[in-house]
Every structure is written in C-alpha cells, then in structure tokens.
A and B are shown apart, each in its own frame.
Chain A
Amino acid sequence: MMLIGIELMLNAANLNLIAFNTLYPSSVDGRFFILFVIVVAVCEAAVGIGLVLRVYHFYKTSLPDQIRDLKEKA
C-alpha cells in the first residue's frame, strides 16, 4: 500500500509544480495539463488498487518485500 501512497505523492507534487507553471500569464496550457494529469492519476489509482487487491488475495500480504515468487506455491 505504501507504493500507492508514493504514487499519489508524486502526483500531488506534479500538480503543485504545474500550478507554479501557471504563473506564466496568457497561457492556459498548464491548467488543462493539470486536468489531464488528474485523469491519468485516477486511471493509475484504479488499476493499482485492483492489482493490490489481487496480489493480496494471492500472496496474503501486501508488503512488496515479502512477495518473492512468480510461480504458484506447490
């Protein structure tokens, strides 16, 4: 789960950076780019949550350090 938190922290930092980028007047590109970044972040979060639930169902853990094997346990 910490991976998702880190991803969203990255997205928030990205949004903050683009908000500083809109300090250039007479340009609305930055604001629309924020919109599309939000769209991409939402897609990533949805797929990420699905993956995490699937991994947890399979490995019975959600810590990335404890997920070691690719193959199903015999």
Chain B
Amino acid sequence: MNVVAIITYILAIVAAISAVAILFVKEVFHAAMLLIICVLCVAGIFATFNAEFLAVVQLIVYAGGVLVLIIFGIMLTVREREETSNNRILSSVIGLLFFSVMVYSLEGIQTGNTSTDLSPEIIGTLLMTQYAIPFELSGLLLLISLIGAIMVSTNKTQP
C-alpha cells in the first residue's frame, strides 16, 4: 500500500462521513458547509486517480459555482427550521440495497494503476473529435437552462 492509496482512502472516508453527517444536521447552512467538504474530498479523489483536469473542473464548478448558488439560495429563503423527514428507515434501507449492489459489482475489479494521465491538450482534441456530439449537446443544454432560469426567475408582469 503506497502513499497515494492511503490518501485516497482518507479522502474517501472524510467524504463519506461528511455525506452522512448532512443527513443528521439540523441547520440547512451546516448541511451546505458539509457538502463543500464532501465536494472537496471528491475533487481530491479525482486528483489521486490521475484525473487532474477533472479535479480542477470539480473545484471550480462545484466548490466555486454550485455551492455559492446554494448558499445564496439558503440565505435568501430559509427562515425556519427544516423538519426532519419521517421516512428515514425506508430511505436508509434503499441506500443499503444500492450500496450492496455496488459492492457486489465492484468485487471483481482489480485496483491497479489506472489509465494514463490526460493532458488538457488531449482532452480538447478528444472533445472536438470523438466526443463532439455530446459536447455540442451540453452546450445546447446550457443555453436552454440559461433561458429557462431567466424565464422562471423574472417577473412576468413586467414587459
């Protein structure tokens, strides 16, 4: 067991603990903070899997964009405490089922040294050649969601 594997396990454990702690936290703002920790740990896991570009994308997009959006939303809306859900047993049973399926399917995988590291040059070339159609579709999806967010959040009575 080398150093990278130990770092990966530590990051995974921290991510799992923070993800579970989201469920048991009363304040929504604390849940957002724990979500930041979880996202940062996932970015670290990406970095240990030789996927530095994905780690940087995760940091910028999630920790920089989505979490700021969520914290804005929390600060603009929440005045009262969230009530805890009362079907916690059912949801935990479903989660345990999904986890057991995942463990069962991951049983035969050898955990060796993974694929080669992708430089941003190779990533750009592949995005423009092999993955051109999903790339363009994601651009279209971004445009649609931009228009949709503007349509939803603006007041319709104003011209």
- A-side interface residues toward B, CB under 8 Å? 1-2, 4-5, 8-9, 12-13, 15-17, 19-20, 22-28, 31-32, 34-36, 38-47, 49-54, 56, 61-63, 65
Minimum CB–CB distance from B141 to chain A (whole Å) comes to: 6
Select which of B35, B54, B66, B114 is within 8 A of A25 by beta carbon.
B114
Known: A1-B77, A39-B142. A9 touches B19 (CB 8 A): yes
- A/B pair count, beta carbons within 8 Å: 136
CB <8 Å contact, A56 and B76: yes
- B-side interface residues toward A, CB under 8 Å? 15, 19, 22, 28, 31-32, 35, 38-39, 42, 45-46, 49, 51, 54, 57-58, 61-62, 65-66, 69-70, 72-74, 76-78, 80, 82-83, 102, 106, 109-112, 114-115, 118, 126-127, 131, 134, 138, 141-142, 144-146, 148-150, 152-153
CB <8 Å contact, A65 and B126: no
Minimum CB–CB distance from A25 to chain B (whole Å) comes to: 5
Using Cβ atoms and an 8 Å threshold, which residues of chain A touch B35? 5, 8-9, 12
Q: Is the interface of B mostly helix, strand, loop or mixed?
A: helix
Minimum CB–CB distance from A39 to chain B (whole Å) comes to: 4
Known: A28-B118, A49-B149, A53-B76. 16 other contacts (CB 8 A): A4-B70, A5-B31, A12-B38, A15-B58, A19-B49, A28-B126, A31-B54, A32-B127, A34-B51, A35-B57, A36-B138, A40-B141, A43-B144, A45-B70, A46-B149, A61-B80
Minimum CB–CB distance from A56 to chain B (whole Å) comes to: 4
Known: A5-B32, A16-B45, A32-B134. A63 touches B82 (CB 8 A): yes
CA distance A71 to B110 in the complex (A): 56
Q: List, sorted by A's number, 7 A–B pairs whose CB atoms are closer than 8 Å.
A: A5-B22, A17-B102, A27-B115, A31-B118, A43-B142, A43-B145, A53-B153
Using Cβ atoms and an 8 Å threshold, which residues of chain B touch A49? 69-70, 72-73, 149
